[in-house]
Each structure stands twice: as C-alpha cells, then as structure tokens.
Amino acid sequence: MISLAVPLALAALPLAALPLIIHWLTRGRVREQVFPPLALLQRIHAGRARRSQLREKIILLLRLLAIALAIFAMAGLAWRGDLGSANRPLVVVVDASASMQQVVGGASAFAQARGAATSLLDDAGSRAVGVIISGKPLRSSGDLAVGGGEALARLAEATVTTSDGAPAAALSEALRVLGPAGGDVVFVTDLARSSLAGIDPASLPEAVSLRLLDIGGGENNAGIIGLASEPGLVVAGRPATVAVRIANYASTPLKAAVDLRIGTQATVLPIELGPGESSWLRHPVVIDASGQHRIHASLVRSGQDALSADDARSGMLEVHPGLTVLVVSGADSNELAGPVRPVRAALSAAGYTVRMTDGAGLAEELQATKPFLVASVAVRDAAGMAPPLRDWLIAGGRWVQFVATPADASLVLPGTDPPIALGQRMDVSTQERAAQPWAQARLEHPLFTVFSGREALLRSVAAYRYHLTPQQPAADAAVLATYADGTVAVAERPVGNGRWIMVNTSPGAADGTLAANEALPLLMGRLAAAMAPERSDGMTLEVGAIIAGAWKDESGRWAPAQNGRTTIPAPGLWQAADGSLVAAGLPGLESDVRQLDAARLGLEVRNAHGALTAVRTAPWWAILLASVLGLLTVEILCAGGVGGRAPASATHKERS
C-alpha cells in the first residue's frame, strides 16, 4: 500500500514540465535555403541525424523524470503494510494460554509468538502501541505509549500460563486501551480451538480492526482432560467409580495406557482411541476411610505429542463418612400421628444421619453440619428460614419440602419461584374418609425408578386434604407425580446450582396414607440418587479458578491473594491454612490444539512470517534520490554524445 508523508508536496509536480517548457521557449526560428553541394553529405549522415534527435528527446525525458522523482521524494512516498498507518494506534495481544506450550518448528508456540510480537512493536515506529498478555491472570502494558518501551518490557517478562487464554477479556482490555477513537488489534495466537472463545467479530466497533497472526501448530496431541467420581457423592465403605477422560486430537489412532493412582493403590488401564475420539476409563473402588484422597492419572504412550503438559492430571476425591440430612420442623418429631416422625424414621432407615432443627437454628446448622440434604415439614419460622435456605440452595444445596401446614405452603424464598404455585387448602371429604390418590409418576426419574414394576405402591398413596395446584409448574420445573384429578403431587426445579423438590402431600396420618405406606421409605432411600449428581467433575479445578482463602503449593509457596480470594496459578495440589486440599489442572479444552478456521468468522489471518509486512512502513526517499542521481548520470552521458559535431545538411538554415 502506497502512502505519502507530505501530500502537499505533490503540488510541485507541474515543475516537472519545466525542461520541456524551456526547450520549447529557447528554440530558434530558422529560414531554410537550398545548398546543393551538400546533398550528397545529407544522404550519408541522415541516419546519424535521426539518432541525435532521439538522444535529445531521451535527455528531455530524463530531466522530466528526475524532477518528478525528486518531488515524490520530498512528498515522503513510502510503502506501508495494511496495519502500518502512523495515525492509528496499535495493540498487540499475545496468547499465553496453555495450548501455547505446544512445540512448533522446534520451539514453543509462545516463544515464537513473543518474537513476532517484539518485531511488531519494534517496527511500529512513531505509532502509539500497547501489549496485552492473554491468560489468567490478564497482563497489560496499560495505556498506549509512543516508542513501545513499556510494552516491550512487559512482553520480555511475560511467560506462558497453564490456564485458558481468556481471549474475550483480552479483547475487552484492548478496546479499553484503544478508546473510542479505535485502532488496530493484532492477536498473535496458535488458533487452537479455545483461542477465540467468547469473541464475536461482528460486535466489534467499526473503528477497530482485528487481525489474527497465526503462529502455527495444530500437531497431533492426546491428553487427560478430566477426572470424575461416580456417583457425585462418594461415601466411605460404599462402592464408587473413579473415571478418567482421555482425548485423542491426533489424525492417527492412539494406543496407550493410563497409570491411575488412588492414594497408595496403583493400576494400569489400557485404552485405544481413533482420531478425534474421547472416552472415559472407569475403575471401581471402595474407599473405607473418609476425608480427602489424592488421585493421579498419567498417560503412558510411545513417542511424543505436541503438548506434554496435559499428559498427567491430579485430583482430590472427597469421601464422606455418611450422608447427613437436616430435618427442619417446628412440630414434635416424636408425635405418633404427626407429620415429622415418619419422615425422620424413613430417612434413618435409608442410611442417612438425621439431625433436627427449627427455622431459627437453620443458618447455624447449615454452617456446622454441611448436610447432604435439607428436608422441611410442618415449619413454623418460615420468615427466618427463608434467607439461609435460599443462599444454601443457590450455592448447590438440595431441599425436599413436604407441604403439611399452611406455613409450609406460604414459605417463599426471595428472588425465586417454587416448583409449583400452591393454592388454598382443600378437603377431599369433610369426614376424611374419601381419598385423592396419586395417578401417575415419571418412573424414569431417579426418585421413582424403584417403583418400576411396583406402580401399585404409588397408586395407593392418597391424601385426604391437599393444596389445589395449577396444571403447569414453574417454567423450568418438572412434574414428577400427579393426583388423579391432574393437580401436581411432586415437582422439582433447579435453583442456582441447587435442587428443590416439593411434595404436595403431608406424611401425617390425619392427612393421608403416605406415613403408613411402603412408598415413603422407598422414596427416602432414592433421595441420594435423585438429588446427588451421577458424576462429579469437581475433583480438579481449572487453573485460573478463583477460590476463597489463602493457598500454597506443595513446595510451601503461597499463591498471591487479593481481598481474601486466590487465583490458582498452576496445576498440582494446593493447601489452605486449615489443611484442606484442592487439585488444579489444565483446562480440558486447551488440549484440543486443532486449528480453527477463522475465515468462517470473517477474520483475516496472516502467517507469522507476514508480521513485519503487516505493520512496516518502508520510506522510498532514498531509492527515489538514488534514481534521480542515476537519471542525471545517464543524461550527462547522453548529452556528451549530443555535443559532437552536427551532420551536414543540404539545406542551409539561417537563424533570425
């Protein structure tokens, strides 16, 4: 692309015609007279005369070109890359995500990206520049500066991370640095699958130009991308499964093994995967001791792949001594005909540890007990119970609500809707002799799978009085069971990260048959399967996760903490001041180093070798002046030839 530093200098271009004007003005007027004796000589020298006239025209043209080139040199004629405008600021974003550890051409992708970014900043000239290192945490040179000294210093001290690149946050920071006036953003990356996560090119301001600089990569890679426990809550002495997820992002089949260590126990699990496939390897275990247990898996294979950092992964498995259920009620739990006693007995028979509290003591019990589940029935202090229960649910708690009293029906959690909206209390019969039975249930739901083939048990569950409910539950709720008249008996819905099940029937003997029915113990026994996740992926946090408190690695070095929160900076085990442990690992998506087709997003991609040409501005004044000198030299040589004796002419010319 051609540019001019001083466009006004082109106003002098008409001066290039000056030699032509002088030549035309200084021509003499002649009168021809015939001189026959010279006719023979005229024929002899006719060819030489034509050559002489041609030299004169060439000399005139050389003078015109020399003046024109001198004027273009004064105008600052230059070639510049499409990002080389000195009037637009430049921000270079360098991808420092975990995938940038992959080896490309004998060096890490990050090392090559840093070299390309350095070249970009060095060649930016007088442009205002900045640099952003994309990763967790995000690092930026701050505001734009001419010369790039601060940006180069930030780039020199940057290192590749083991977290995701946070590309959307990096682009947001680039837009902040550029400001409303906009400018150019060059994103130096390996174009791995996660490199543009969260970026919508169509939403960029019109004043901002985003270009991608491809460092290369995308070579064959396989790695461990996940650790999980099945079920999600592992209880001491009960069977469980440790699962390891392997992914093969190579173009060739993978034949390898996983060395799995659970505490001091070790086992080897073989695996074969086709190109692009992933799979879970499962190993059954029974862990007798409660507490935290370290899990470590490493991939054993022949040869090397592009990214070795994901060939091992650590996890921390929490084994619970038992499952505690906190029963919240204001009624007497020993009352024979009351609604609390059958619930408590059924929970104990299912193997849960049951603790009792009332609404006023709920917040303290939640903090001290850390129950698996809260069951509420016949509550009284609904107002005091609502705030701690809401916060616990949003954080991932589980709540089963039996509607036994008007207070149960009026219990509202601020900011969230119940699974079903309850109406007024309704009597099925005034003498409480007739009953309204459950008509159907979702037998595929974990809470009801135990009734498959025993549907008669559910149909025998009946209520003498219940709350009239609408046909439709909340928008994100699911109806699990209904009464014969179509109203809702059991419904559930998510609340934040937690689960809320509402049972629209009382287990009290005066209100229905649930207390004396075999269905109640079976339902209580299925709560763990229904309310706990089938699998928990929480054994390993992603590097870059933010957790409360201060944490140190296995060498005793504390991670930087701010406002009582710590961003986990690297894989491995981390210990809090109270001795609790967490494990961190590479984000699973970083293992997929296969390259994106950014052209589908409408983004321009350049190879790293085109980095300099993208921003470089190459002035041509030296070339132009050298050309002027060359033209003048040729003119002198030509003029020397013209200066010889003129050929004789048969016509005598007299100048007036």
Distance CA 403, CA 380 (A): 12
Q: Is residue 540 part of a domain?
A: no
pLDDT of residue 354: 95
pLDDT band at 648 (very low <50, low <70, confident <90, very high): very low
Q: Is residue 536 part of a domain?
A: no
Distance CA 488, CA 510 (A): 20
pLDDT of residue 78: 59
Look-up of token digits 């934040």: 496
- Regarding whether 527 and 583 lie in a shared domain, the answer is no
Beta-bridged to residue 266, according to DSSP, are 261
Q: Which residues contact 194 (CB under 8 A, 6 or more apart)?
A: 97, 99, 164, 165, 167, 587, 589, 590, 592
Region 471-498 average pLDDT: 91
pLDDT of residue 643: 45
- Regarding whether 363 and 401 lie in a shared domain, the answer is yes
Q: Is residue 164 part of a domain?
A: yes
Region 551-575 average pLDDT: 92
**Strand duo 398-402 + 373-377: pairing:** parallel
Beta-bridged to residue 226, according to DSSP, are 245
Indicate which CATH number applies to the domain containing 347. Answer: 3.40.50.880
Single-letter amino acid code for the residue at 4: L
- Regarding whether 503 and 394 lie in a shared domain, the answer is yes
pLDDT band at 655 (very low <50, low <70, confident <90, very high): very low
Q: Is the pTM of this model over 0.85?
A: no
pLDDT of residue 13: 67
pLDDT of residue 578: 87
| 516-545 pLDDT per residue, tens | 889 999 999 999 889 888 888 889 999 999
Distance CA 47, CA 382 (A): 119
Region 474-495 average pLDDT: 92
* Whole-Å CA distances, 354 to 60, 331, 345, 627, 652: 108, 16, 9, 95, 134
In the chain, how many H helices and how many E strands? 15, 40
Q: Is residue 85 part of a domain?
A: no
| 342-383 pLDDT per residue, tens | 999 999 999 899 999 998 899 999 988 889 999 999 998 888
Q: What is 287-345 written as a DSSP string?
A: --S-EEEEEEEEEE-SS--S-GGGSEEEEEEEEES--EEEEE-SS-TT-TTSSHHHHHH
| 421-447 pLDDT per residue, tens | 888 888 887 655 678 999 999 999 999
Whole domain around residue 647: which residue ranges? 2-78+620-655
pLDDT of residue 479: 94
Extended strands (E) in 18-126: 30-34, 77-80, 90-95, 103-104, 107-108
- Regarding whether 311 and 353 lie in a shared domain, the answer is no
Top-confidence residue, 328 or 71: 328
Distance CA 100, CA 114 (A): 11
- Regarding whether 562 and 481 lie in a shared domain, the answer is no
Q: Is residue 83 part of a domain?
A: no
Q: Is residue 399 part of a domain?
A: yes
Instruction: Using the predicted structure, report yes or no on whether residue 585 has a pLDDT greater than 50.
Output: yes
pLDDT of residue 345: 94
Region 252-259 average pLDDT: 93
Under DSSP, is residue 143 helix (H, G, I), strand (E, B) or coil?
Answer: coil
CB 297 within 8 A of CB 258: yes
Residue 26: count of CB within 10 angstroms of its CB: 7
pLDDT band at 475 (very low <50, low <70, confident <90, very high): confident
| 6-34 pLDDT per residue, tens | 566 667 667 667 776 776 766 655 555 56
Q: Which residues contact 565 (CB under 8 A, 6 or more apart)?
A: 546, 547, 548, 549
DSSP for residue 41: H
Q: Is residue 512 part of a domain?
A: yes
pLDDT band at 649 (very low <50, low <70, confident <90, very high): very low
- Regarding whether 611 and 633 lie in a shared domain, the answer is no
- Regarding whether 525 and 400 lie in a shared domain, the answer is yes
Q: Which of 248-257, 398-407, 598-607 has the lowest mean pLDDT?
A: 598-607
Q: Which residues contact 57 (CB under 8 A, 6 or more apart)?
A: none
pLDDT band at 289 (very low <50, low <70, confident <90, very high): very high
- Regarding whether 511 and 377 lie in a shared domain, the answer is yes
Q: Whats the size of the chain, residue-wise?
A: 656
pLDDT band at 137 (very low <50, low <70, confident <90, very high): confident
pLDDT band at 136 (very low <50, low <70, confident <90, very high): confident
pLDDT band at 600 (very low <50, low <70, confident <90, very high): confident
How buried is residue 500: exposed, middle or buried, by Cβ count under 10 Å (0-12/13-18/19+)? buried
* Whole-Å CA distances, 656 to 21, 30, 245, 286, 653: 21, 6, 104, 124, 9
Beta-bridged to residue 356, according to DSSP, are 327
| 623-644 pLDDT per residue, tens | 767 776 776 777 777 766 544 4
Indicate which CATH number applies to the domain containing 122. Answer: 3.40.50.410
CB 293 within 8 A of CB 284: no
CB 584 within 8 A of CB 309: no
Q: What is the mean pLDDT of the chain?
A: 84
Instruction: Using the predicted structure, report yes or no on whether residue 646 has a pLDDT greater than 50.
Output: no
Percentage, residues of the chain above pLDDT 70: 84
Instruction: Using the predicted structure, report yes or no on whether residue 577 has a pLDDT greater than 60.
Output: yes
Q: Is residue 148 part of a domain?
A: yes
- Regarding whether 493 and 355 lie in a shared domain, the answer is yes
Q: How far apart are the first and last CA of the chain?
A: 54
- Regarding whether 581 and 505 lie in a shared domain, the answer is no
Q: Which of 61-70, 127-136, 250-259, 513-522 has the lowest mean pLDDT?
A: 61-70
Q: How many CA atoms lie within 13 A of 498 on its CB side?
A: 21
- Regarding whether 570 and 501 lie in a shared domain, the answer is no
Instruction: Using the predicted structure, report yes or no on whether residue 45 has a pLDDT greater than 60.
Output: no
pLDDT of residue 75: 65
CB 467 within 8 A of CB 483: no
pLDDT of residue 135: 87
Instruction: Using the predicted structure, report yes or no on whether residue 583 has a pLDDT greater than 80.
Output: yes
DSSP for residue 647: P
Distance CA 634, CA 612 (A): 36
| 70-128 pLDDT per residue, tens | 776 676 665 555 555 557 899 999 999 999 999 887 889 999 999 888 888 887 777 88
pLDDT of residue 644: 46
Distance CA 160, CA 148 (A): 21
CB 400 within 8 A of CB 374: yes
- Regarding whether 253 and 137 lie in a shared domain, the answer is no
pLDDT of residue 456: 92
Number of structural domains (the chain) is 4
Residue 582: count of CB within 10 angstroms of its CB: 22
pLDDT band at 278 (very low <50, low <70, confident <90, very high): very high
DSSP for residue 474: -
Instruction: Using the predicted structure, report yes or no on whether residue 279 has a pLDDT greater than 70.
Output: yes
Instruction: Using the predicted structure, report yes or no on whether residue 132 has a pLDDT greater than 90.
Output: yes
pLDDT of residue 394: 92
